Structures are given as structure tokens and as C-alpha cells.
């Protein structure tokens, strides 16, 4: 069993969303995680806040951001256990973020500290 990281990217939806819609999204996220947890495949998940974010660049230059450089925001990440990329992708497919046009979930296998990977 390997661990996979799901990176949730979304465009800014706050302008169109009503509080009721937000409530629905939150519940869907919770239910989605519930489904993965029920299979014993959920490791952890966190939201990633945008504010105060910094980009550290080459030569140690630190800037605020990233602002205006990218269209999509990294809004959250979670780690699941899966036997294969296919299974991890199946989990990702249920992510409510994907309901928004242009949004995406990036699936990355986490390297094991076993000297092989």
C-alpha cells in the first residue's frame, strides 16, 4: 500500500457562491472524506490558506504571493492510502472541488523512505 497526495486546485469561487452553496460544498467534502475513511484509506487532509503566503525564490528572495501569477489556487491537500494510481485517482474523482469548471485535483505518489524510491 502506498500513500498518495491529492492536491486540490480551484479557481476563485467566492464571488458566485451563496452561503447555502458553501454549506453544501463543505458537507460534500466531509462526506467524500468519510467514504475514503470508511475504507480505511484516509491518512490526513488540511486546508491551505492563501493569506500570508510567501514565495521563496532563487537567491533567497522572499516575496508575498503568489498573487496574480497563477489562476488557480492550491486550496487543500490530503493524503490517502491506495494500492495503485488507479485507486488513488478513483478517490480523487469524488472530490467536490471538481464540480467547478477549471478546477483540478493533482494526484502524486509520495516517495517512501525506503531508499528505493
Partner 1 sequence: MELIPHLFRTEYRKIIAVLCKRFGFDEIETAEDIASDTFMSATQTWGLQGIPEHPVAWLYTVAKNKARNFLHRQATFNNKVIPETALRENASTLPEYEIDLSPQNIIDSQLQMMFAICHPSIAPEAQIGLSLRILCGFGIEEIADAFLTKKETINKRLYRAKEKLREENIPIALPGMAEIDDRLAIVLATLYLLFSEGYYSISNNRTVRKELCFEAMRLCYMLVENKHTNKPPVNALLSLMCFHASRFEARLNRNGEMILYEEQDTTLWDADLISKGGYFLNQSATGTQLSRYHLEAAIAYWNTQKDDTKEKWENILQLYNQLLQIEYAPIAALNRTFALSKANGKEEAIIEAEKLNLTNNHFYYTLLGELYTGIDNTKAKQHFEKALSLAKTLTDKQTIEKKIDKI
Give φ, ψ of 45 to 5 degrees: -150, 150
Measured from the CB of residue 14, what is the shortest distance to partner 1 in angstroms?
4
Q: What are phi and psi of 33, to 5 degrees?
A: -65, -35
Among 4, 41, 76, 103, binds partner 1 (CB under 8 A): 76
Q: Considering the rule CB under 8 A, would residue 75 count as an interface residue with partner 1?
A: yes
Query: Binding to partner 1 by residue 59, rule CB under 8 A?
Result: no
Distance (Å, whole) CA 103 – CA 29: 15
Q: How far is CA 85 from CA 76, 81, 82, 92, in A?
A: 19, 10, 7, 10
Binding to partner 1 by CB under 8 A, coded x per residue (else -) over 18-57, reads xxx-xx-xxxxxx--x-----------xxx-xxxx-----
Residue from the set 35, 39, 55, 67 that interacts with partner 1 by CB under 8 A:
67
Q: Note whether 82 binds partner 1 by CB under 8 A.
A: no
Amino acid at each position: 500500500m502506498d500513500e498518495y497526495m491529492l492536491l486540490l486546485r480551484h479557481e476563485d469561487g467566492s464571488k458566485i457562491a451563496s452561503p447555502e452553496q458553501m454549506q453544501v460544498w463543505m458537507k460534500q467534502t466531509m462526506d467524500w472524506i468519510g467514504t475514503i475513511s470508511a475504507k480505511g484509506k484516509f491518512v490526513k487532509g488540511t486546508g491551505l490558506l492563501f493569506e500570508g503566503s510567501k514565495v521563496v525564490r532563487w537567491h533567497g528572495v522572499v516575496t508575498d504571493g503568489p498573487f496574480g501569477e497563477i489562476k488557480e489556487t492550491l486550496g487543500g491537500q490530503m493524503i490517502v492510502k491506495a494500492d495503485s494510481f488507479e485507486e488513488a485517482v478513483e478517490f480523487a474523482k469524488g472530490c467536490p472541488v471538481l464540480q467547478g469548471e477549471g478546477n483540478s485535483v493533482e494526484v502524486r505518489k509520495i516517495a517512501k523512505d525506503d531508499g528505493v524510491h
